[in-house]
Chain A
């Protein structure tokens, strides 16, 4: 008998980083690493489950920027180069470790992983988004969209036209990729501002997620807490609150699963560990040491001494942790069922990049967990938000509270000393974009191109990632540069459009560089 629902959510997002003007761009590696370590292992996991007829359910976000990068021919070409280099390195490692069988075994493991990644990549004709689409069409996966460039919406509230553009551009982009409208939207960083549900409703979005306190501190008090969705007052858009207990088990670096001593150590990469001349061809061309993805050690313990990784032990641990996670959810569901008198909805959202990239065994854990839940018990049922809403129509109406899942739970991560300067520029740009959209209701030709590009530049400047990186205080120069670059491009477009002096060569150049959202329509910014 079903005592509770479990809705696992993986939020996949990377900012739009694509530099055709540079042969090698360090920040593009974020994307290549995520493909090899997260997206492809997840695809492989779903493929295995489908082949073995495991009726699983999972909800994922693919942010519009991530989809755009996954579908970009230049980045696809570069990824292939990247993975080929890794394969070459893995071959060398197998030979180099001839006298160290424990490491040689791992080098072979990596070689297999990289070859498999390349095979998968080529099997989908380099379009990994198609893989996700297939799983959605098969009814196993529900793919949500996210704001167009992952703009942090609460700090855009003074310019609702920009919030609307972030939402509407995302929705039409999703439609062009998946051939249907998105049902849900992952609000970037779970940043919810009361009133933004109106814009979601306009765009046809039926649900979103908030952090626990977004629902718990809503008004009036939610009867079932975060264990049932609520409808936003006035719009009826559903809001699912995060269950903190299940989140913590996976997220927490101390008590969480990923810190287990048998799991792979993230910080010991041969890009840093091996002799310089040897790894030189596989690190950054400027000679900066970077992660290669080949890591030989397990976490071992709470000290700097590390022992070689033993895949079998890690696998057993992942299986045990999957069992533990399921057991805890069953107990939680039983406990809640007792006084709710109906099955609770447990929502566990995670950054997709946590799985595989940070927590190497994450995709394996997910695989075990899905199987166990589907085959070993009948108290918990995996569900997607859409399924849940279709089956359970009656919910409480509240106004959720302003909240995010970021540091301290509100907007401070994106509004603090190192990044608060951006808003005076972003907001002026938003106002100017609104002005342009109003001034030119029917543009075509060069003018239309310029207006569309202006909106692209504005959206790119709004990515929450830049403010986030500035807020962390390390490696901030790229984030500052990107913010300024897009704002400057926007300003110039604004002035050129206003003075009727658009430079077609320069416009072509930035259209080529910032080529995201080819179908964009500037008129959504109002």
Chain B
């Protein structure tokens, strides 16, 4: 076992050395490129720079990242409740913490499994030892978050992220906050407590209320509500305004074809003439031209276009007659 571990470490070291060597070479190459570029491209750069000078732009003192960091170099695990059965954990471990663990555990560190230890800490003050029960989830080296199925509504949970050593010892690295999963059905507790806010109580005291501690709520509607609850009817469509409006149509994946016709009627006359189409006056552009656009249904359309000169001495009428007929055929190949 010890031998195996040594070989493993050796290979790791070798790989590490190779990496360092490659990085060094890469850095050198980049450096030489930099120098060359400086000599070759200096003039071009200077010229290009003048294109972008702008008196108003504030100078940036230093560059800022354009994307969020992968992590924040903290040691932290956070637990959140997703629903009565599932909780979610995310975590991060700082580089210095990893180093410290490596130093302390030496070879044990590399053989250890990374584990989430999930404690049921309902109704206790958890001290690391007194959980009602716990279970482990092995996670890989690169995982930084996990959905945990607790199978336990109405319980409190706390999670340790740690190393499970070959010896069976568990080393806690991070301990989470405590969360409580909600009930999945009605509470079994039926003790009732009633309240009148203080300010009103003085006034209402002695007036008497008709509300007794009589029968618990009728079963019938409770069952009905429960059915609704778990039939999925409760999910609201939410913000319809944000969903893509076209998407639903496309999702049906039915083949389709839409064809429609429009008719453009256009012409020109003296700019100061009066033009009407089918008796309705049309606005002319300054140069005397006009354009009309119509949806063209099936059938025959007659549209007399009449122009009257500004002195009303002359009148011209041109009447286009258009007819549309639509034929539809469909075929489906087997």
Contact = CB atoms under 8 A, between A and B. Distances in A.
Interface of A: 14, 30, 33-34, 92, 95-100, 103, 154-155, 157-158, 194, 211-213, 216-226, 231, 233, 236, 244-245, 247-248, 251-253, 266-267, 269, 272-273, 275, 278, 291, 304, 335-336, 339, 341-342, 351, 353-354, 357-358, 393-398, 401-403, 405-413, 415-416, 420-421, 423-425, 427-428, 465, 468-469, 472, 474-475, 484, 487-488, 491-492, 501, 503, 505-506, 509
A522 B192 CA distance: 41
A247 B192 CA distance: 28
A244 B217 CA distance: 17
Contact of B254 (A92, A97, A304, A469): A304
Contact of A394 (B211, B222, B280, B296): B211
B234 interface: yes
Contacts of A354: 237, 240
Interface of B is mostly: loop
B193 interface: yes
B239 A351 contact: yes
A253 B238 CA distance: 12
Please provide the 8 A-B residue pairs with the shortest distance between their CB atoms, ordered closest to farther.
A505-B58, A410-B83, A402-B182, A220-B189, A219-B187, A358-B240, A397-B193, A217-B183
Q: Which of B67, B88, B187, B243 has the most CB of A within 10 A?
A: B187
A278 B295 CA distance: 12
B192 to A, nearest CB: 6
Contacts of A509: 58
Contact of B293 (A96, A211, A269, A506): A96
B296 A221 contact: no
A13 to B, nearest CB: 8
A34 B278 contact: no
Contacts of A335: 221
B83 A358 contact: no
A103 B235 CA distance: 36
Contacts of B233: 244, 248, 252
B188 to A, nearest CB: 8
B194 interface: yes
B71 interface: yes
B67 to A, nearest CB: 7
B328 interface: no
A236 B197 CA distance: 7
Interface residues of B, number: 90
Interface in B65-122: 65-68, 71-72, 74, 78, 80-84, 86, 88, 90, 92
Contact of A221 (B190, B221, B235, B247): B190
Given A266-B245, A267-B245, A393-B197, A402 B81 contact: yes
Contacts of B248: 267
23 contacts: A92-B293, A95-B292, A99-B294, A194-B180, A216-B225, A216-B229, A217-B184, A217-B187, A221-B190, A221-B216, A267-B248, A304-B252, A304-B254, A304-B256, A351-B240, A401-B182, A409-B235, A410-B84, A410-B182, A416-B82, A475-B244, A503-B60, A503-B61
Contacts of B151: none
Given A96-B262, A98-B278, A423-B80, A394 B182 contact: no
B195 interface: yes
Contacts of B188: 221
Q: Which of A211, A220, A224, A226 has the most CB of B within 10 A?
A: A220
A17 to B, nearest CB: 11
B297 A100 contact: yes
B124 interface: no
B81 A407 contact: no
Interface in B152-208: 177, 180-197, 200-201, 204
Contacts of A253: 237
A394 B196 contact: yes
A410 B239 contact: no
Contacts of A266: 245
A212 B245 contact: no
B198 to A, nearest CB: 9
Nearest to B201: A393
A306 to B, nearest CB: 11
B80 A158 contact: yes
A212 B225 contact: yes
B81 A154 contact: yes
A395 B241 contact: no
Contacts of A351: 236, 238-240
B45 interface: no
Nearest to A506: B58
B145 interface: yes
Given A157-B80, A225-B221, A266-B245, A488 B68 contact: yes
Given A223-B216, A353-B239, A248 B193 contact: no
Nearest to A218: B187
A220 B90 contact: no
Contacts of A427: 78
Nearest to A269: B245
Contacts of A244: 225, 228-229, 233-234
Given A97-B294, A304-B254, A394-B211, 9 more contacts: A98-B294, A100-B295, A212-B228, A213-B234, A220-B187, A251-B236, A251-B237, A393-B200, A407-B238
B247 to A, nearest CB: 6
A304 B258 CA distance: 11
A275 B262 CA distance: 9
Contacts of A407: 235, 238
B242 interface: yes
Contacts of A92: 293
Contact of A358 (B81, B221, B241, B260): B241
Contacts of B292: 95
Contacts of B39: none
A410 to B, nearest CB: 4
Nearest to B296: A99
Given A244-B234, A272-B246, A411 B225 contact: no
Contacts of A273: 258
Contacts of A487: 68
